[in-house]
Structure formats: C-alpha cells, structure tokens
Structure 1
Amino acid sequence: MPDRPWSPTYLNLQSTIQDLFLYDFQVEIDRLGEEVAKQFQSNPTIPGVILSKNGQLKGMLSRRRFWEHMSRPYSLDLFYKRPLASLYVFTKTDVLILKGETPIFEAARQALQRSPQLLYDPIIVELNSGVYRLIDIHQLLIAQSKIHELTHQLLEEKTYANRVQTEKMASLGRMMAGVAHEIRNPVNSVNGNLSFLDDYYKKLIELLLIYEQEIGQKPNRIVEFEEEIELDFILEDTPSILQSLQVSAESLIQIVASLRNFSRMDSRKQQIVDIRECIDSTLLILKNRIKNSVETIKNYQEIPPIHCYSGQLSQVLMNLLANAIDTLMERKEKEKNFKPRIEISTQVIENYNGARGISIKILDNGMGIPPEIQERIFEDFFTTKPIGKGTGLGLAISYQIVTQKHNGQLNLRSEVGVGTEFEIVLPMENAV
C-alpha cells in the first residue's frame, strides 16, 4: 500500500520523489516465496518487494521478475515453499537507490538511463537512514510529465511577463517623452524670460533712486506706503528670489533632458552616449528619494562615449540605484546612527575577457545580500520584497539588457552587514 494519497496536480517545480506515490513493502530475505506471492495477488499495484536481512537492505525484487520466474517449469516447487534468498540468486540485478529529496526530473533521467531490461523495474527511495520505500516507474513518468507541463507553463508566463514589462516600459517611455516635450517649451520660456526680468528689476531700482534724488524729501504718503509694503525687504529679497527662480528653471531643464533621455526605452537603434551623463540623469530623476539623506560619491574616471541603447541602459541604472536606495533606507530604519552612502565609479579596465572594457560600479553600504539569495538574484520573478513592493523582474531584465543587448556582464559582490556592489562591464568595442 502507498504511504500517502497522491495526485500529480499537487506537484510543483521543487517537488521531489518523496512527494510521490511510495510503497512500503519490505520483507526479510529468509521469508518464504509464497508470502510475497500472496501480497502481490492481493495488491496488484505493488511494483516490487524490498528485501532485507536483519533490518539491513539486501536488494529488491520486482513484481515482473518475480512472476517471470514463478511461471517457469518447476519454479513453484523450487521457490514457492523456499526462502526468497534462493529466488533472489537467480533474479539479482543492479538496483537504483535514490535519496528522497532527489528532484523528480533527476530521478526520471537516471531511471531512463538504465539498461532496457531494467527500464520498468521500480526504484528504491531512501527516506531516512535505513528507511526505504518503492516507487513505480509509471508513476514517476506521470510526475515527470507534470513537471514538464509546469515548466512549459512557467516559461510561457515568463515570456508573457517580460513582454508586458517591456510594453509597460515602452509606454512609460512614450508618456515621459510626451510629458518632457510639453514641459520643455514653458520651462524654456520661463528660463529665457528670467534674464529680462532681472534686467527690468535693476532698471526699476535705478528709476527709484533717480526719483529719490530728484524729489528730495519724500511726501508722507510715499513714506507710509514704503513702510506698509516693507520696501527695504522687497529690495533685499527680490534678487534672491530671481536667483532661486533661475536655479530652479535650470534644474527643470536638466530634469526634462533626463526624462527625454530615459524615455528612449523603445528605441531600436543604438546611440552614442556618455555613460556619466546617463548616471547623472538617473540621479536627477531619483533626487527626491535621495535628497539630503544619502551621501552620493562620484568617482568618474575618463571613459569614452559608447554605442548603446541609452534608454535601456538608463533603465538598468535606475533599477540598480533604486535597489541601493531601498536597502539603505531599510538599514537606516534599523540603525539610528547609520549614514547611508552610495558610491558610483566609472573606469576603463584592462582585463575584460582578455581585452579592454568599460566598468560602471554602484556600491552601497546597505544591508548586504546573503549568499543563498545572491545565487538567485538575477532569476525571473525572484524578489525578497513584500507583496506589492517588487515584481522580481527588475534585476532579471537588467541582466538581460546588459548581457544580451550589450554583450556585457552584470557582476554582483555583496557581504551581509557591509554592503553591495553591482558592476556593469561593457566591451570597449562599443566605444566611439
């Protein structure tokens, strides 16, 4: 009889053979053959019997081989009333023994690699030390088929999710391009007119000074109104306001330029880009998240412009920097005196696949990533963030953009409690 009810509908990609239909039929090898025959007759689904001696595993006798030998002439006289050991001498074959935690697809692979005469013999499953069960090959192949179906379904879901994400980013890019275009004209108008406004203000001040010189003693009404509107403060504060407006307008122009650069998500042509400008544009977009809470250090060495898909590369930088900010904020919540820091560096390296390359490093002093998570960090749909906070696609898509679109590398170095470094390496052959 099986250890537990089983159905292939309960399987998942991590299922192992101990999750399957297992049979517990084990007898001492000195028991009579008729006892096994009676069990096989009353339980037609049992695939075989595990043989032991003093509790130690000796081997396995499949149902098929048992009845093959029992059906031969004189076999009933030879084996039916004798210990199983005498029959086992004639039927002994190599037995496949697998650990209970063996994945289903691996068990099926090993089972199918056996010689043809052993192909349908059951497999011994070792659940614990000295604890054995049997698994029927038919059930194993059904389970393998289910795993194959689940894998195919997951691949379809991944393909669909990637397509949706790409379309979302392309739509976002088109929207941002439209917003940037709509903002650019009024911003340019504000910025262009500020110089005239500053000039007009200076001329009005000169006019006021001339009035004072020509009039001499001010009438009481003028003196009272100057006090009412706080003229001295207006004259002192207006230049600061004009300067602040000028700085804000220039900042808006930079943000619009960054949005236009980031909006090139759906561009199918490579463009010549200065990577440092891409980084600065991304930091500008993230400025509201960084503000004064994160120290940003830039170590830019001279690197050449490169041919790349600038919008997609900006998306990679956005993902890496946003993740760095997330881990910094997480650590800041836990450690009162923690000082968040992001260090960004660019340089030409000499040992990239035996040639020169361009390196962009983003280093944070956040929580760090445990080794077991590092192994899966670039997998589709893998995320450690709470539900609703992450899709598990950001780093996976970033990895694809760097490795497949740009023939580069995306490397990870991290230590828990110290921080994380992501390094984008692009081949120098892309350089201008």
Structure 2
Amino acid sequence: MLTLTMTPHLSVPSTHFDFKTLTLDSTLSALFLYDAEIEDTHPVIEVAGLFDNYPILPGIILKHQGKFVGMVSRRRFLERMSRPYARELFLQRPIQSLYGFIQTELAIVPIDTCIVKAAQLSLKRPHELLYEPLVVEMGEEAYCLVDVHQLLVAQSQIHKLTSRLLDQSNYAQQVQTEKMVSLGRMVAGVAHEIRNPINSVSGNIDFLINYFNGLVQLLDCYNQELGEKSEQIKELEEEIDLEFVLEDMPRLLKSMQLGSQRLTQIVNSLRNFARMDDRKKQVMDIHECIDGTLLILDNRLKQGIRVLKDYDQIPLLECYSGQLSQVFMNLLANAIDVLMEKKEKEADKDWEPQIQIVTRLVNSVQGERRVSVKIIDNGLGISEENQTKLFQTFFTTKPLGKGTGFGLPISYQIVTEKHQGELKFKSQEGVGTEFEVILPIPASAPHPDLKGNN
C-alpha cells in the first residue's frame, strides 16, 4: 500500500515556509517534512507516478513489510531512469530490483536535531551525496524526509538571526562599557573633590593632637604654680568636667585620626576603581587592588559575611588597575549576593556565610610564572544547566532589575583579552562556587622573595 501523508504542522508547501519563525535552537521539527513511503514489493511505475504528481517531493521512504529499509531520492531515481532502456527494464518490476542500483549511504538524524547541526552534517557528506535528502527519524519505524535546499535556507536564516543578535549584544555591551566609563569618570571626580578636604582634615589632626598635648602640659604647669585653686576655677572645672575631658580627648582625637585614614583609603580605592578608561597598563600590587575592592564593599560585608584572606608573596603586576578592580568587584559582589540569598533560605543556624580569597604563584604548562587569585564562597552554587551559560551576555539568574547579565561576560573579556589571562570557575550546587583569575607575570617582574605582600 502506497501512502503519502503530511504531518498537521507542515500543511503548507515548502516554497512558502515561513523561515521568520525560526530561532537559534530550532530543530528539524520546525521544518516542512515529507512523509511519503512505499513497500519495496510495489512496481517502480508507482514511484515514477508519485514523483510526477508531486514535483517538490525530494524522495520516498522505502519499507519492507512495514520495516524501514532505505530511501529512494528523486535525483538518483530520475538519473537512473533516464538511461537507455531503463524504463523498459524497471517500470513493471518491484522497487527492490531498482534499489540495488540507486541505494547510497543514508544520513539519518533524530527529529530533535538542531537545524544548524543537521545542515553541518549534510554539508560534510561526499559531493555526490550533497543534495540527497536527509532521513528524519520520527520514532519507532516512523521516518520522514527533509529537503536539503530547505535545510540550507533555514540554516542561512538562523545565521542571519545569530549575526543580528551578536550585533545587538555588542551594541548593548558597548553601551554598558560606556556607562561604566562615565561612572568611573564621575566617581574619579567625586573622589578627587573629597580627597582635598580629607587631606586637610587628616593633616590638621596631627597638629591638633600636638596642640592638645601642649595645652595639657601648660595646664599642669599652671596647677603647679598656682597651688590652691580659687572657687571660680573649681566651679568651672566641675562645670566642664575637666577630668573627663582630659581623659576622653586623646581617645576622641585618635578616633578622628583613624577615621580620616580610613576615608583616605576609601577615596584611594574609589580612584583606582574609577580608572575604567586606562590607556596603558600600570604597575600595581594585586593585594592592594583586592583590599581596595573589599573596602568599597565593606558595608555589604558587615551583614555577617566572614572574609578569609590567604595571600602569597606576589610580585608587582602590569595591569589596567581600574578594569581589574571591576573584575574583583563583580566576582565579590556576586558572591555576596548568593551568600545573602542562602542566608535567607538556610535553616541551619550553625552555617556561616564565608568568602575566602587565596592568591598563589603558579606555573603554566610552558613553565611561565602566573598569579592565581581564587574567590571562593560557600553559597548556593550554580546548577549544571546554568554553568554552560555563565559567560553569555544577558544571562542572569537574578530577579528583574537586580542583574544585567553583563558582569561576568565583561569580566571574562577584561581578564582574557585585556590581560591575556584566564577566568575559570567550578561550582557544586548547594555547596559553593570558586572563581579563579589567572594573570601572567611579566618576565621583568622581580622574584617574590624580593618583595613580600603579606
């Protein structure tokens, strides 16, 4: 029995197929599939009639007692039948007698195969089989055909879509980079404006401490010279609580001094972080870069997150300090986010959110010295499905408005392209995540024994 059926979702001619509905992940099920089959015991004339009645049919599935045995393509059938005396020899004979002459190696692919992958498979075939239709396996003993021309057109459409998305991604990334550069310039300007009064306060505190110590000495001298104090002086001392003032003032001045020093450190960290448009690499201490980033994030770390630092002796590096600060900012901020999320969900009261920062000197396979910076958290971890998408632009697991999907892709670009390094990660869901930044050390850098950074 000869059947020619079309699946319901493919009821339109292939020449009018709407390729605009395709996506990057579209499979063969999205294309117009030809469902035509015949038993190999039927005469060849039935196949010829089928090809005559359906000019766009690329081929016919061949079966023997309901079992798949092969495929008769239009091209090879017409080529064989156009030879002298072929029609007289084969038209009334069973198809199996002809199939021995026209059968070729078949390309059989599952229905859920991506269009791009199927097209690549088709193009890898020998040139004489290049335009043979692909056999699509629908299920157990169920097969259809896909026309190669339609397949390649679909691949071309997906390629255009990919190019368009890449253009959009590159544009969005440029916009984000420009925003970060603008933000960096603004922060640098604010940091510069803050730095001047902070320097003034910090410098004057030293004078103030000296002035206070001098006044205390003068007061002691007055007390020794005057001897018995008048009632007016006693009342004034009691009113201003002189004893407490003399005891508390040194602590107050020391607190102001430490505060101004911390403000100076924060401003310097902001200035380093703000160098987003570095024109050339600068020599820097990687530990100062990390510590500066931690200082900026100090307010978030105070939410109960413990930071453990294990620093090795590392030589100075040539880096774009602002961009590298952004990498550490992204990695540390992500770690804080997942730790706070786990803290909200965690039922175990003994669990403590923790970030471990480890720096080491390592050697590459070629023996080149490199610096490894590991940022390890004991948060939620990353699922295997999301790990494959981690460095994709726009991908984020954060709620709308909290994540842009740019942090890790930009960090990867900064480390790999700007610094010729590596950005790796490993994660176990429910246990935690480790990111590793590996940076090359210039040959001219001094040996770490000459400079300690602990």
TM-score, normalised with respect to structure 1: 0.89
Matched, 1:404 2:389: no
Q: Which is worse superposed, 262-271 or 391-400?
A: 391-400
Q: Secondary structure at the match of 1:183?
A: helix
Of 297, 311, 322, the residue aligned with 1:286 is 297
Q: Deviations over 1:248-284 (max 9, x none)?
A: 2211110100011111111121111000100110000
Amino acid at match of 2:379: G
Q: Deviations over 1:75-96 (max 9, x none)?
A: 5554444432233233222222
Counterpart of 1:126? 137
- Once residues 76 and 32 of structure 2 are traced to their aligned partners in structure 1, the CA distance between those partners, rounded to angstroms, is 21
Amino acid at match of 2:200: S
Counterpart of 1:317? 328
Counterpart of 1:268? 279
Matched, 1:167 2:203: no
> Post-superposition shift, 1:168?
2.0
Counterpart of 1:106? 117
Q: Secondary structure at the match of 2:163?
A: helix
Of 362, 370, 374, the residue aligned with 1:361 is 374
Q: Secondary structure at the match of 1:64?
A: helix
- Once residues 91 and 365 of structure 2 are traced to their aligned partners in structure 1, the CA distance between those partners, rounded to angstroms, is 72
**1:18, 1:125 within 8 Å by CA — same for their partners in 2?**
no
Of 338, 344, 356, the residue aligned with 1:343 is 356
Counterpart of 1:386? 399
- Once residues 296 and 365 of structure 2 are traced to their aligned partners in structure 1, the CA distance between those partners, rounded to angstroms, is 31
- Once residues 393 and 343 of structure 2 are traced to their aligned partners in structure 1, the CA distance between those partners, rounded to angstroms, is 28
Counterpart of 2:452? none
Amino acid at match of 1:388: G
- Once residues 69 and 301 of structure 1 are traced to their aligned partners in structure 2, the CA distance between those partners, rounded to angstroms, is 76
Amino acid at match of 1:118: L
> Post-superposition shift, 1:199?
4.8
> Post-superposition shift, 1:207?
7.6
- Once residues 423 and 365 of structure 2 are traced to their aligned partners in structure 1, the CA distance between those partners, rounded to angstroms, is 12
- Once residues 124 and 187 of structure 1 are traced to their aligned partners in structure 2, the CA distance between those partners, rounded to angstroms, is 75
Amino acid at match of 1:406: H
Q: Which is worse superposed, 23-32 or 59-68?
A: 59-68
CA RMSD of aligned residues (A): 2.9
Q: Secondary structure at the match of 1:106?
A: helix
Which ranges in structure 2 are unaligned for 5 or more consecutive residues?
A: 11-16, 447-454
- The equivalences for 1:75-86 within 5 A come to 75-86=86-97
Change (3 A) 1:224 1:272: closer
- Once residues 117 and 384 of structure 1 are traced to their aligned partners in structure 2, the CA distance between those partners, rounded to angstroms, is 48
- The equivalences for 1:135-284 within 5 A come to 135-199=146-210, 216=229, 218=231, 223=235, 238-284=249-295
- Once residues 89 and 298 of structure 1 are traced to their aligned partners in structure 2, the CA distance between those partners, rounded to angstroms, is 74
- The equivalences for 1:40-59 within 5 A come to 40-59=51-70
Aligned positions, number: 430
Q: Which is worse superposed, 99-108 or 51-60?
A: 99-108
Amino acid at match of 1:163: Q
Which ranges in structure 1 are unaligned for 5 or more consecutive residues?
A: none
- Once residues 215 and 40 of structure 1 are traced to their aligned partners in structure 2, the CA distance between those partners, rounded to angstroms, is 128
Of 55, 71, 87, the residue aligned with 1:60 is 71
> Post-superposition shift, 1:63?
2.3
% same residue:
53
Matched, 1:421 2:421: no
Change (3 A) 1:225 1:103: same
Matched, 1:9 2:15: no
> Post-superposition shift, 1:70?
4.5
